[in-house]
Amino acid sequence: MQYINLGKTGLKVSRICLGTMTYGSPQWRDWVLPEAESRPFIQRALEAGINFFDTADMYSKGVSEKVLGRSLKDLAQRDQVVIATKVYNPMGPGPNDRGLSRKHIFDSIDASLRRLQSDYVDLYQIHRWDDETPIEETLEALHDVVKSGKVRYIGASSMYAWQFAKALYTADLHGWTRFISMQNHYNLVYREEEREMLPLCRDQGIGVIPWSPLARGFLAGNRQQRGDGATARAKSDDFAHRLYYEEGDFQVVDRVVELAKNRGVAPAQIALAWLLHQPGVTAPIIGASKLQHLEDAIAAIDLALDATELAALEQPYRPHPVLGHG
C-alpha cells in the first residue's frame, strides 16, 4: 500500500479510502449490505494496508457508523486507522436536526462518537454548504470541537469554489481551525471540478478525496444506454441517472473499456488509475459491494498510465452542468 500526506498536514492516509455508505441497513437503500456481509470488506481493506475509512451520520441513518465502529474496534487498533465522518444532513424530524448550526454540530459529533465507539474522529467533514447558517458560526463550532479533542482535523465536501475560498479566508481571519480536505464529485465523466475547485485546493494545500470515483459504478462499464444496468444499485439508483447517462458519458466509458481490454485489467482499475494520476488527488473514496471491487481498487494504485493513454481517456469528455452539490 502507498501512503500520502492528506493535504499539507502530517496525517498519512492510504491512496485509497474505503467509503462505507454501502454498509449499514438495506432498509435505508436496497443495495446496502447488512453488518455481517459488510465486515469482510473492512477486514480485507485492513489486510491490504488501507487505513482510511469514510462514513457519514446520514448513511443508513447512523447504522453505517455503527457497523464501521464495531468492525474497527474488533479488527484494528484505533490509533492505526483514520476515521472520517460527516455532518449536515437531516438526522431527525426536528428543525435543529440538520444543517451546520453550532447546536447541530455539537449534538452530531457526540452522536457520531457514540455510534463509532470512539473518543475522537480523525476527520470531521461538513457534508454540504449550509445557506441558512453563517459560515462564521459553523467554523467557530468546528474549531471548538477540535479544541475539545473530539476531532483531529476538519474537511469539507461538495460546494462552489467561491464558498470554499470564503471558508478558508474566514478561518484564517479569525485564527480558527482550517479545512484540510475537500471531498468533491470528480471522475472521468464529471470533470467540472478541474475548472476552479482543484486549482484552489492545489494552491491552498488542501487534500482532495473524490467521491464517486467510478461514477456510482457507471465507469465499471456495466451500464447500458437503453436499460438500467446489471447491478441492483444501477437499477434503483435514480441519483446516478440524474448525474450521468449523457451520450458523451458513454463515449468516455467506451474508451475506458477499450483500454482495459488492451491492458488486461478491469475497467474500474483504469478509471481509478486515471484519477490517481490527477494532480492534487490524495485518495479516491471507493465503494465496494463485491470483494472484487475492492481488489480492483487496490490494484489500481500500481497501474501506471502513460500520457497517450491519459489523453485518449480524456478526449471524449463533454462539459456538464454542476452536479452533486445538492
Give Cα 216 to chain centroid, integer Å: 11
CA angle centred on 149, ends 143 and 152, rounded to 5° = 70
59 catalytic per annotation: yes
Checking 293-299 for CB contacts under 8 A at 24+ apart, the result is 293/268, 294/18, 294/41, 294/44, 294/45, 294/48, 296/265, 296/266, 296/268, 296/269, 296/272, 297/16, 297/268, 297/269, 297/272, 298/1, 298/16, 298/48, 298/50, 299/265, 299/269
**Which of 3, 23, 59, 244 is flagged as catalytic?**
59
**Residues in Cβ contact with 264 at an 8 Å cutoff, skipping those fewer than 6 apart:** none
Known catalytic residues are 59
